[in-house]
Amino acid sequence: MERILRGCRRRPAYAGVAAALAAALSAGPLPTATAAPAAPAEPAPTGGGLVMVLDSSGSMADDDGSGATRIESARAAVGTVVDALPDGYPTGLRVYGADRAGGCTDTRLAVPVEGLDRGRIKDAVADVKPKGDTPIGYALQQAARDLPERPPGALGHRSILLVSDGEDTCGTPDPCEVAAQLGETGGAFGALRIDTVGFQVGGRARDELKCIAEKGHGAYYDAPDADALARQLQRAARLSADGYRFRGDPVEGGLGRGGAADVAPGQYLDSIGAGETKWYAAELDAASAADFGVTAVPQPGVPVAYGDGIELELHATDDYGTRCDARDGHFEQDEGAQPLTGAVSRIPSAEGGEPCDAAGRYLLSVHRTSAAGSDRARWPLELAVGQEEPLRAGVTPAQSETDYGPAGDEGAGLPTSEPEDITGGTGFNDAKAIGPGVWRDELLPAQTRFYKVGVGWGQQLRYRVEFANEPTLDGAAGVSSFAATDLYSPGRAVVGDGPFSSSRSYYGEPVAADLGTVPVSWTNRYETATEVVPVRRGGEYYLSVSLGPEAARFAQNTAIGVVLRVDVLGQEKSGPRHGAPAAAVDGGGGEDGGKGGKDARAGADEESSDSVLPLAGGIAGGVLLAGAGAAFVIVRNRKRRPAGEAPAEAAAGNGVRGGW
């Protein structure tokens, strides 16, 4: 067995990155701790919602050091939160300690969890007068009941956001035990997330709030002052509203080979627990390529270990159970969870006659690795199954394209036009369509945004993500996070780094992450390099951009700005065959997904019998079958080492024709 590692290569600093970022970001202000960012344009899916639980105990009447009381600062912070949430997002407000001078059941639902009514929530907070005790455990129990029942098939995110300036004063029920109980109910799609914000807390109160967040599969945020309170509340609330938007039919993978769940081309939803292995089965013919893309979606930012992740294997059901392909995706960082994606494929070999060329039943296994100290919540799984039929008889494909050419140079020219403001998607299903140009977005700590770009036959994608020069908080010197991007084929296979650096250490100073592809060629499937094999068909390529959770410890603004410089190089060809003429130009760019996507698909239809799934912009595509017998390669598709650490070196390939 040979293992190829995607190393985090250290590259020289970009000349002029700071100047370019300053120019690009100057066209519009970044959000500040008190100015609410623009609300997302689309409401969240049904079945989800957020209930804010606000401490209104007697201590909230104390001065917060700014000349205002804690409750006055909380009112202002809640106002910025609701202004930043998307229209219609189900949001409610529960208070405790507001109605009686004492009592461990003193909590009430001030605003039900319904379509967002900003004025009603602000009015309710304005009426709160701090009086009583701090029954956190009891208030959490009631808040869980406030959230709407999930309708059948609904996949919305359900969150509790607790704000407190002290620890529970009632003792029973124990808040950490309540959080643990709530976190264990409902499985992956029905589970609650509990985020906590400690307003000017320390000692036991801080420990308790951190425990609640850990047991509730959420995050704890420190808020030492009023500005921090507004900033951290916005981050937690927007992460809830901007959760990954799933798509697919429910399926329950088997816990062993014999119970494998049958899947056909389409998209499916399942879940997986720590240490668990799920099995699926598909009937494949002897000629078509088949792709199985798996996306695991933990709660953003929850504790994970370096080696946590998913491991995929595809087996034939011949007498030997031949392993046809294997890939794994690990976090390779311990800051906190983010979406993980990998793909395995069955691609018939060039000559035929190999064990994995035969028609029959194939088995896909998905295994989750998880360290003892990692978050134990079940992870939702999104499984995309695609089929790509072979080229039509008599079509000779163009030769493979393995060289980046000038696009592989660090100084390769990228667009420098005025940036256009966009909002990236939450995942593959709502990825924002962009084309060549300069685009500006923003990222919360622990957030991942998704985009898609059309790339046609013979074309190559090249892009750079520039992370802003971020004002940092006092006392945050030396705290770092990561700023990263990943690139996926139409079949969700990870495209290797090649000569680029896709993950960088981030201290709030300008950094840039680069990626790109070689030219798209049908014959790339028979190459061995990780950066070449997935680039085997025209269509929509997906870019993800991530910011590490630790950025919440030093970033002064609610979100940090990013600029994407995107280009699609080369003349698009009308199809994959050798000598194919240039494709007709459709205008390209912008919402049409760039220069290549539409014509690439049209050209493929002329020369092949592709069955491309109409899900997530087309699911066909992917990674390559490892040649004869049981020969296979495992690729680790995540790397989040700080830029200063020594990278793992990429292996040179396994020498097996058709291998990766």
- Sign of the alpha-carbon torsion through 113, 115, 118, 123: negative
Q: What's the token pair of residue 52? A: 């804010």
pLDDT score, position 624: 26
The C-alpha torsion from 440 through 442 and 341 to 400, rounded to 10°, is: 20
Confidence of residue 411 (pLDDT cuts 50, 70, 90): low
When the pLDDT of each residue in the chain is averaged and rounded to a whole number, the result is 84
pLDDT in tens, 266-287: 999 999 999 999 999 999 999 9
Least confident of 11-25, 210-224, 442-456, 575-589: 11-25
Confidence of residue 585 (pLDDT cuts 50, 70, 90): low
pLDDT in tens, 470-527: 999 998 888 999 999 999 999 999 999 999 999 999 999 999 999 999 999 999 999 9
pLDDT in tens, 52-69: 999 999 999 999 999 999
| Among candidate residues 89, 430, 76, the one with its CA nearest the CA of residue 238 | 89
Is 320's pLDDT higher than 90?
Answer: no
Choice between 314 and 648, residue whose per-residue pLDDT is larger = 314
What is the residue type of 484?
Answer: A
Residues 449-462, mean pLDDT to the nearest whole number: 98
d(C-alpha 572, C-alpha 582), whole Å: 6
pLDDT score, position 417: 95
Confidence of residue 586 (pLDDT cuts 50, 70, 90): low
Is 427's pLDDT higher than 50?
Answer: yes
Confidence of residue 7 (pLDDT cuts 50, 70, 90): very low
Choice between 153 and 198, residue whose per-residue pLDDT is larger = 198
pLDDT score, position 153: 63
What is the residue type of 565?
Answer: R
d(C-alpha 459, C-alpha 519), whole Å: 5
pLDDT score, position 1: 29
Confirm if 488 and 531 have CB atoms less than 8 A apart: no
Farthest-apart Cα atoms in the chain, separation: 85
pLDDT in tens, 102-113: 999 999 999 999
pLDDT score, position 31: 34
| Among candidate residues 124, 150, 146, the one with its CA nearest the CA of residue 46 | 150
pLDDT score, position 98: 95
Between the alpha carbon of residue 42 and those of residues 85, 434, 604, the distances in Å are 10, 18, 33
Confirm if 117 and 148 have CB atoms less than 8 A apart: no
pTM: 0.85
pLDDT in tens, 137-193: 999 999 999 998 876 666 778 999 999 999 999 999 999 999 999 998 878 888 889
Is 622's pLDDT higher than 60?
Answer: no
pLDDT in tens, 353-386: 899 999 999 999 999 999 999 999 999 999 999 9
Q: What's the token pair of residue 228? A: 């921090």
- Within a 10 A sphere around the Cβ of 286, how many other Cβ atoms? 11
Is 654's pLDDT higher than 80?
Answer: no
pLDDT score, position 128: 95
Choice between 653 and 191, residue whose per-residue pLDDT is larger = 191
**CB proximity list for 514: less than 8 A, separation 6 or greater:** 410, 463, 464, 465, 485, 500, 501, 502
pLDDT score, position 154: 67
Helix/strand/coil for 606: helix
What is the residue type of 156?
Answer: G
| Among candidate residues 500, 581, 565, 498, the one with its CA nearest the CA of residue 534 | 498
H/E stretch holding 140: helix 136-146
pLDDT score, position 404: 95
Confirm if 198 and 223 have CB atoms less than 8 A apart: yes
Residues 561-574, mean pLDDT to the nearest whole number: 97
Which residue carries 């650096």 as its tokens?
501
Choice between 14 and 192, residue whose per-residue pLDDT is larger = 192
Least confident of 152-161, 323-332, 533-542: 152-161
Choice between 570 and 185, residue whose per-residue pLDDT is larger = 570
Confidence of residue 46 (pLDDT cuts 50, 70, 90): low
pLDDT score, position 190: 80
Choice between 597 and 407, residue whose per-residue pLDDT is larger = 407
pLDDT score, position 19: 47
Between the alpha carbon of residue 369 and those of residues 161, 277, 441, 446, 640, the distances in Å are 29, 9, 33, 21, 17
pLDDT score, position 295: 98
pLDDT score, position 187: 80
pLDDT in tens, 301-317: 999 999 999 999 999 99
Is 249's pLDDT higher than 80?
Answer: yes
Q: What's the token pair of residue 462? A: 């090249």
